[in-house]
Chain A
Amino acid sequence: MEQTDAALVGQARAGDPDAFRLLVERHARSLFGLAYRMTGNESDAEDVVQESFLRAYRQLKSFDERAGFGTWLYRIAVNGSLDLIRSRGRRMEAFAPAGDDAVDLVAETPSKDASPERLALSGEIRQRMVAGMARLSANERAAFALRHFEGMRIEELSRVLGCQPGAARHSVFRAVQKLRRALEPAVGTVK
């Protein structure tokens, strides 16, 4: 039977590295998804994942067992991503459409049965999405990524972000408003 996170954390705290390995294997992919949504860059996301697990391991003794390990790990990854974005001043460039992964996102082949018009629109939407994400502040991006992509409720994401629910809600609103503004011309055409 698969062991719970709590049980594995207990064993890892007691010095069992295999238990921590299982936690890494269990959470790495979802953590990468979150880090990628936040940093907009594969290489940065990889760094965030590794550093988050290292930090989690070093802080395992201070982990409050009443909180879920996943939530705690997400919080570490969110903070790491925020620090990375801020320290590198990458709000604009992390999702920049020129010269990085974003180009691949835009160029990625859509479904084969799409019409040429549909393909063009799909590309336009992606470009606008990339541009819209680049307009979000670090907090807005974190709140949006957790709410929209991770399906986290505002109450919970406020705990991950370490802020009041009202402030988290405000960040989600602002992110949606900015993205909507960026996407509206293309989405309006699709409708």
Chain B
Amino acid sequence: MRGLRKAYGAFEAVRGIDLDVARGEVFALLGPNGAGKTTTVEILEGYRERSAGEVDVLGYDPARQARALKQRIGIVLQSTGVERYLTVEETLDMYRGYFPDPLRTEDVLDVVGLREQRAVRVKRLSGGQQRRLDVGVGLIGNPELLFLDEPTTGFDPSARRQAWEMVRSLRALGKTVFLTTHYMDEAQYLADRVAIIARGQVVAEGPPAALMAGGDEVTSVRFRLPEGAQGWPDRVPEGVRSEDGTVVIETSTPTAVLFALTRWAVGQSLELGELTVTRPSLEDVYLRLVGADASSDGAGAGVGAASEAASRGRRRRRGGS
């Protein structure tokens, strides 16, 4: 995808996006609500025409060769959208008939874990089960490329775990997965590569680990200083001390800091309560990139809260080093 643009009247939802997704990888497009994620994906799926730019999906132009393309992709939309009075099995069979070279209904029932619910009508499924049926409908045509648009929005934690395991099993099947989400942990857990977009432009791209290493994020060492502690270890920054005695030290050399800190504590026979070491998460990267960007734009409440968290994080870091 090169220089992709989409304008709705005077509003440009997508403002020049370049992306490459390799076969067999799980790619996540991350961004806050209104960043242009869904617009981008719907252009790739053939639902919307682009205003400018080049798009190539499996060798097809989705705007001109929609039918040929749709035989080889699977689409899982945000909303469920299947006939509520058919059973799980009937639904899969119905969609199966639209494709030239589909998977077997039995196999898809296994992949999405709905074998026991095969004779249940869609309207009687739980929310998580309906979402898994959605993925099943997306898979039934044996697609080379599967689009998942916010697959776990509104899920409880255990349903999210199940959905994640299912996406991982798709990769094992050799499918390319194009995922959109606004959950950082989801992208971190599932994706081989991530692109973060905000206000219609890519602000960061790469494997989750590289994105986390690339920023100025540092590791946090957190503990509670016990009563009667004397002095302070050498070569350890003071960190930020809160009223309840919790200390947070942010450092780019956590090994040295931990060594000095624990040697000092053991020497005084102190036990550091609630000692934890936290690596920066993709969320920190994301909030830095997206939060700051969105707040300067005066965007909606959710994004505003995110940017507030990001600026809190910056203040904390400044205090700590």
Q: Are A and B subunits of one complex? A: no
> Measuring CB to CB, which residues of chain A are less than 8 angstroms from any residue of chain B?
none
